[in-house]
């Protein structure tokens, strides 16, 4: 990309995820970088990514990234742990703008947070099967113990808006019991949907367990990457692109994350 074609500082930060989960990253970006324009692509037609093959997730991630780049994004945030684990390492070098995922910042925060050396990770089947968090944590400190558990029922429950529901709490207790029995003192919320359940998870785990929010730490990494050259945009905007209509998406954006959406349209990634 030449200097003349490089996106300006006031160009939007492009963010994508398979559904509503990446809005937790958008919420944290809004907190960390309040003047930035944000363009969010929610791939609601193909959610969830967690049970799909690496080849499929990589194809979806390329299509999402291409669409955000076409819309003028100055950087791309992969606000999906599954895509960060399975696709980002192989596609990042294909794009002329910076790309950042949620996995590495979350792993670094977990290493910093643990006191006992025992870390739990919860995520989708694909993220956990990739062992991406375990590998990232062990690159930083090979002496740490990592207990990673797939929680495939959580994303569908969250997409249905069942955030404060006894069924969701019962499922969480079932998933968390083994790692809590192992004495972990830190849990990585290894899916950007999961911060929407942070209060419930904290209540189950108790005050002795630190929760590492991958969305929060990703936003801080984006802020550091932009450094001293942030947007000069005076009026921040949040523009939403969905690949299929979703009533639950809007409800959670406004009610649970208190996000103000400036525009919303339905677009097809890959077309």
Given the residues 80, 151, 205, 218, the one annotated as active site: 80
Q: Mark whether 205 is an active-site residue.
A: no
Catalytic residue among 151, 191, 205, 218: 191
Nearest to 17 by CA among 83, 72, 73: 83
- C-alpha 177/C-alpha 159 separation (Å) is 23
Place of tokens 């939403």: 240
Closest CA to 201 of 115, 160, 193, 220: 193
Q: 3-state SS of the chain: helix, strand, coil percent to 5?
A: 45, 15, 35
Q: Measured between alpha carbons, how far is residue 74 from residues 3, 18, 70 in Å?
A: 12, 20, 10
Confirm whether 151 is a catalytic residue.
no
Partnered with residue 14 across adjacent β-strands are 39, 76
What are the residue numbers of the active site?
80, 191
């Amino acid at each position: 990309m030449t200097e003349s074609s490089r996106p300006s500082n006031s160009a939007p930060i492009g963010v994508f995820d398979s559904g509503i989960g990446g809005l937790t990253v958008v919420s944290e970006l809004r907190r960390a970088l309040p003047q930035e324009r944000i363009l969010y692509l929610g791939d609601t037609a193909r959610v969830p990514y967690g049970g799909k093959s690496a080849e499929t997730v990589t194809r979806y991630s390329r299509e999402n990234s291409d669409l955000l780049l076409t819309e003028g994004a100055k950087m791309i945030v992969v606000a999906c742990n599954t895509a960060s684990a399975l696709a980002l390492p192989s596609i990042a070098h294909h794009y002329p703008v910076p790309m950042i995922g949620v996995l590495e910042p979350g792993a670094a925060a977990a290493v910093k947070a643990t006191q006992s050396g025992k870390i739990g990770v919860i995520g989708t089947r694909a993220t956990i099967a990739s062992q991406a968090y375990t590998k990232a944590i062990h690159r930083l400190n090979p002496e740490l113990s990592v207990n990673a558990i797939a929680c495939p029922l959580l994303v569908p429950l969250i997409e249905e808006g069942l955030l404060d529901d006894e069924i969701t709490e019962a499922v969480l207790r079932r998933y968390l019991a083994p790692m809590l029995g192992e004495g972990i003192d830190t849990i990585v919320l290894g899916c950007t949907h999961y911060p929407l359940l942070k209060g419930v998870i904290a209540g189950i785990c108790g005050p002795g367990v630190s929760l590492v929010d991958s969305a929060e730490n990703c936003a801080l990494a984006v802020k550091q990457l932009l450094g001293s050259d942030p947007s000069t945009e005076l009026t921040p905007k949040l523009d939403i692109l969905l690949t299929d209509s979703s009533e639950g998406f809007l409800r959670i954006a406004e009610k649970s994350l208190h996000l103000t959406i400036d525009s919303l349209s339905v677009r097809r990634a890959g077309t």
